[in-house]
Amino acid sequence: MADILEAVFKRHGCLNSQPQTGDQSVFCNRSTECSSVVVAGERGISRALLFLAAVTAAADLDLKVLFYTHTAIQKFPVPVNETMTDLKPDSLKKIKFVYRRSLEELLLDVASQHELASGAAASAPSLVLVDGLDSYLHGIGVGGGGGSGGGSGVGSGGSRKDEMSTTAHLAALLMDTSSFLTRIHEEMADSRGMERGAVIPCRVIASYHSDVEAMTADPVLGVLDRYFPTRCTLVKDAGSSGGGDEFAHEWQVYLSGTGVRHGAANELEWYLVVHANGAMEFSPITKPVAPRNPDQQMERV
């Protein structure tokens, strides 16, 4: 089965013109260690991609989804609204939105999934989404101010060492929870006489917005890269106009890291066009491209 991000790309236009190779994925999936992704880009576009992943996982892949966000959802992004017109009534019930306004609340809730899943294995999620890791780490939007609001985040006032340590702690907890939830699903499969190979590993997809122009210079993202096997980088093309729409914005989508199947990142690259009405459309580049370092092309994402 293709990975969730690939399923999103396909549903919204990507890979439809790409020659298919059976069940082969650009990701080295079927492994918990290769299944989690950090999405690096502007907050709006990254959040929309996480919403699309949630809806695709619930509606197309029949997976239970746990979606963490630090701000209340007033409305769904336009691409999600378009997708929801085709959804079955029960699909959204598979997505559980959890509002945790501070880093401490997020850490406690993620840690509690071990106990919750042990007591109710059937309700254990197969996809955990975290919207805005940077907001949790830096205390953005909490209590009406930056780092205020009950010690939420370490970005303002805390030392760089503390920030790196907290980032590593949060990332490690997310990966550990992913592995634990995968084992819960495997044990449930055993009890039902199913093969463990049929179990989809629990994935974590989290978004991160960097204020550092060159992403290689962002120490927080460097820490996240050590824990998340795959990075999906969204690079906005300055002054781009997609599909003849003068108000459209075009993004380049890069996959990198140990979670990408060897050689695949050099064979597939995507363009994402965000139209004036907010609709998102992915399109593939099918010919091989030379390896490129997205960090060197990164604007202020």
pLDDT at 197 (0 to 100): 65
Number of residues that make up the chain = 301
Number of domains in the chain: 1
157: left (phi over 0), alpha (psi -120 to 50) or beta: left
- 106: phi then psi, degrees, rounded to nearest 5: -65, -45
Q: How many CB atoms lie within 10 A of CB 275?
A: 16
For 78, other C-beta atoms within 10 Å of its C-beta total 15
Report the candidate in 227, 242, 205, 238 with the shortest Cα–Cα distance to residue 63: 205
Residue 154: its pLDDT value, please? 60
Query: The dihedral of CA 173, 100, 61, 275: what is its sign?
Result: negative
- Any idea what the Cα angle at residue 206 is, between residues 208 and 46, rounded to 5°? 60
pTM: 0.80
Find the domain containing 22 and state its range: 4-297
Rounded to an integer, what distance in angstroms lies between the CA atom of residue 200 and that of residue 186? 9
pLDDT one digit per residue (tens) for the chain, 301 residues: 347 888 888 877 744 444 444 445 555 555 545 579 999 998 888 998 999 999 889 988 889 999 999 988 877 766 666 666 666 778 788 999 999 999 999 999 999 999 888 878 788 999 999 999 999 998 755 444 444 444 456 654 457 788 899 999 999 999 999 999 999 988 888 887 777 666 778 999 999 998 776 566 789 999 999 999 989 888 887 765 545 555 568 888 888 887 776 655 444 577 788 877 777 888 876 644 444 555 544 443 3
Contact 168, 227 (CB under 8 A): yes
CATH for 108: 3.40.50.300
